[in-house]
Each structure stands twice: as C-alpha cells, then as structure tokens.
Amino acid sequence: MVMAGRGSERLKSLLNEAIAREIQVSIQYMWQHVQTKGPLHHLLADELKKIAISEMKHAEAIAERLWYLGGTPTTTPSPIFVGNDLKEMMEQDVKDEEKAIELYKEIIKVATEEGDITTARLFRKILEDEEEHHDFFTTILEGL
C-alpha cells in the first residue's frame, strides 16, 4: 500500500519516464504543427497543436503525482524527432504513441500491484487520451 509521500523507486522511475515522453511529444507535436506543409497543413495544424497541449497537461499531472509520491520530476525530454515531411512525422508519432500506450499499461499494472489506485486511475485516463492520439495519427498515416 502506498503511503502519502511515498512511492516505490520502480514506480517513480516509470513516472519520470512518462514525464520525459510527454515533454518530448508536446514539443515534437507543437513543432510539427508549425512545420507541416502542403494541402493538409490547415487540416492538421490545429489538431497537432491541441494534442501538443494535451500532452503538456499530461506531463504536469504526472509530475504532480510523482512529487506527491516523493520523486523529483525530470525536465529532460526523451529525444525529439520532428520529421522532414508529413509521412515521416506521422510514422514517428504513431511509434511514439504506441510506446506511450505500452508504458502506461505497465504503470497501471505496477501502481495496481502496489495498491496505488490514484496513480492507476490517473494513467487510465491518460491512456484513453493516448489511444485517441494513436488513432488520429494512424488514420492520417493511412491516408498518405
């Protein structure tokens, strides 16, 4: 059972990995929002911006939870890859969302095993968002 202000080192490490990932994709998607070109630019730019903001909100929520559990949130993003064209961008974004889905399922499992229902609940909600992002990027990629 998780006590206030205490989380296992394993869980805290996973949360920091999630924060690094969320910072990465928030920057990545925002720069893609700025740099998309061609006829799809106007259709995609606003959605990429919305997703980038959503990812930053995830980073904030995860950081708050990590701090509560006694950890220090990272400020270092995972490697950022913007891409040179829309296809390359969407291929990378699909991969990044798949990695997030896998990581967040692991976090839910670990948190549940440790009796940390709050962290598990937080990540169930974030997982829903990530699956929606994955669906969006996959749909765009299929149309290219």
The pTM is what?
Answer: 0.94
Domain presence at residue 4: no
Q: Say yes or no to pLDDT of 45 above 70.
A: yes
In the DSSP assignment, the letter for residue 3 is P
What is the rounded CA–CA span in Å between residue 114 and residue 11?
9
Domain CATH for 112: 1.20.1260.10
Average pLDDT over residues 89-98: 97
Domain presence at residue 3: no
Q: How does pLDDT run across 100-120, given as a tens digit for each residue?
A: 999 999 999 999 999 999 999
Average pLDDT over residues 36-64: 93
What is the rounded CA–CA span in Å between residue 104 and residue 11?
11
Domain presence at residue 18: yes
* pLDDT (0 to 100) of residue 63: 98
Domain presence at residue 58: yes
Domain presence at residue 2: no
User: What is the b/e burial string over 6-44, where b = at least 16 CB atoms within 10 angstroms of the residue's CB?
Assistant: ebbeebbebbbbbbbbbbbbbbbbbbbbebbeeeeeeeb
Domain presence at residue 52: yes
| Structural domain count, the chain | 1
Query: What range defines the domain where residue 125 resides?
Result: 9-142
User: Got the DSSP string for 94-114?
Assistant: HHHHHHHHHHHHHHHHHHHHT
* pLDDT (0 to 100) of residue 6: 82
Least confident of 3-12, 49-58, 85-94: 3-12
Domain presence at residue 1: no
Tokens of 70: 């006694």
